[in-house]
């Protein structure tokens, strides 16, 4: 019995020495397992990194200024109320936008960008639709959004990538090969032929991260060997004379500040002044400007959570991404699981082996 106790004591002493000598190695191994589990299942580290990133972006000492050439025509609550007296509730007849574009075009803007999806015909006002179509047909600088629906709906679509005006082949250096029979993709295109004929079409899909915060903007979708560009990329290439500077597919947005940082003009104010004999607004207000028409009205539900605000207007997100593409000053930060895993493991094992 005494010998057995002695053997157990010796074994425990041996184990204790080994644990003492290799404590940091065992701890590092345990932490390595925890990091891998977190990266694949729990995402605690990812959420902490994203929140820290948001704080950094929101509290920067030097914030880039909004491009003064970008102007947002805001269909806000005041516009909805003012226009309702003559044109009823939203959506308004397309004649309103036809007249608006016609008057803005007279000032020679660089581009007129719609953040509004004209996906259906106005069956009650066909003449209004026809007028809007004719106005668009007479322009060369109007841009319209496409909505890329979920891939789960692709099997319901009859539209293939090669049928979409303005779509381009994926560059040869990519690993994506164009298939002989492109697969259908679920997209919502503008209803108007003139808008399709301009080929100035681009997706305007805003994809929040897992926590519901918008941090990135997808500049193109790869579709069966075709590249479907986003609206900011199409506008940027047009206004920058087809710039060849490479941009990332998922662009990390470089915010210009809190909402309403850009130059705004209320839609109803501009529209009323256009029809007035006595003009109160400058005759060159939109000359050489990128004019973006969209809404900040909460009742139209185009508000997203971003690092800068809980309710950021979608039209200003569009303006910011156009600004980023134009100036190529998007944020360049290594994101994702890989850098998190590599940096965590490097820190753990360097500490253990020090």
Contact 189, 119 (CB under 8 A): yes
Nearest partner of 318 among 14, 61, 72, 46, judged by Cα: 72
pLDDT of residue 11: 65
The percentage of the chain sitting over the pLDDT mark of 90, rounded to a whole number, equals: 70
pLDDT mean over 185-211: 96
pLDDT tens, 111-147?
A: 999 999 999 999 999 999 999 999 999 999 999 999 9
**Percent of the chain as helix, strand, coil, to the nearest 5:** 45, 15, 40
**Residue located via tokens 């404590």:** 23
Nearest partner of 134 among 94, 84, 82, 194, judged by Cα: 194
Q: What are phi and psi of 326, to 5 degrees?
A: -60, -40
Residue 13: which pLDDT band, with cuts at 50, 70 and 90?
low
pLDDT of residue 43: 63
Range name among 82-91, 101-110, 176-185, 283-292 with the lowest pLDDT average: 176-185
Q: Exposed, middle or buried by CB within 10 Å (0-12, 13-18, 19+), for 3? A: exposed
Residue 45: which pLDDT band, with cuts at 50, 70 and 90?
low
pLDDT of residue 135: 98
pLDDT of residue 9: 72
Task: Give the Cα separation of 188 and 117 in Å (integer).
Answer: 8
Q: What are phi and psi of 174, to 5 degrees?
A: -80, 160
pLDDT mean over 24-44: 69
Tally the C-alpha atoms within 13 A of residue 198's C-alpha that lie toward its C-beta.
28
Residue 244 clears pLDDT 60, i.e. is over it: no
**Residue located via tokens 């947002």:** 72
Task: Give the Cα separation of 342 and 173 in Å (integer).
Answer: 28
pLDDT of residue 12: 59
pLDDT of residue 219: 97
- Coil, strand, or helix at residue 269? helix
Residue 305: which pLDDT band, with cuts at 50, 70 and 90?
very high
Q: Which residue has the higher pLDDT, 303 or 49?
A: 303
pLDDT mean over 226-248: 87
C-alpha torsion angle, residues 306, 311, 314, 319 (rounded to 10): -60
Residue 242: which pLDDT band, with cuts at 50, 70 and 90?
low
**Separation of first and last alpha carbons in the chain:** 44
Domain definitions of the chain by residue range: 2-59+335-353, 70-327
pLDDT of residue 174: 57
DSSP E strands, the chain: 70-74, 111-114, 142-148, 168-169, 187-188, 201-203, 216-218, 220-223, 226-229, 250-252, 263-266, 290-294, 303-304, 312-313
Pair type for strands 142-148 and 187-188: antiparallel
What does R_g of the chain's alpha carbons equal in angstroms?
A: 27
Number of H helices, E strands in the chain: 11, 14
Residue 340 clears pLDDT 90, i.e. is over it: no
């Amino acid at each position: 019995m005494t010998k057995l106790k002695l053997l157990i004591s010796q074994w425990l002493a041996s184990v204790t020495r080994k644990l003492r000598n290799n404590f940091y190695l065992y701890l590092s191994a345990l932490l390595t397992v925890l990091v891998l589990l977190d990266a694949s299942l729990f995402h605690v580290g990812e959420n902490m990194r994203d929140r820290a990133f948001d704080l950094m972006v929101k509290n920067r000492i030097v914030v880039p200024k909004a491009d003064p050439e970008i102007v947002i025509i805001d269909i806000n609550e005041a516009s909805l109320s003012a226009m309702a007296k003559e044109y009823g509730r939203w959506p308004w007849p397309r004649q309103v936008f036809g007249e608006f574009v016609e008057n803005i075009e007279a000032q020679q803007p660089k581009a007129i960008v719609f953040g509004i999806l004209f996906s259906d015909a106005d069956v009650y006002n066909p003449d209004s639709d026809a007028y809007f179509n004719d106005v668009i047909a007479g322009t060369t600088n109007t841009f319209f959004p496409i909505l890329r629906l979920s891939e789960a709906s692709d099997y319901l679509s009859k539209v293939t990538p090669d049928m979409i005006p303005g779509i381009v082949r994926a560059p040869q250096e990519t690993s994506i090969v164009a298939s002989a029979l492109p697969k259908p993709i679920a997209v919502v295109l503008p209803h108007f032929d003139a808008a399709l004929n301009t080929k100035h079409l681009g997706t305007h899909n805003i994809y929040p991260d897992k926590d519901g915060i918008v941090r990135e903007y997808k500049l193109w979708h790869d579709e069966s060997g075709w590249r479907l560009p986003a609206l900011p990329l199409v506008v940027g290439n047009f206004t920058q004379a087809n710039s060849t500077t490479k941009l990332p597919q998922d662009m990390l947005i470089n915010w210009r500040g809190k909402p309403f940082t850009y130059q705004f003009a209320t839609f109803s104010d501009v529209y009323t002044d256009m029809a007035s004999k006595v003009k109160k607004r400058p005759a060159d207000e939109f000359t050489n400007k990128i004019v973006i028409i969209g809404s900040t009205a909460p009742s139209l539900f185009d508000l997203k959570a971003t690092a800068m605000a809980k309710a950021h207007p979608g039209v200003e997100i569009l303006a910011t991404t156009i600004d980023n593409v134009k100036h190529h000053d998007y944020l360049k930060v290594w994101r994702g699981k890989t850098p998190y895993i590599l940096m965590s493991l490097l820190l753990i094992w360097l500490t253990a082996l020090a």
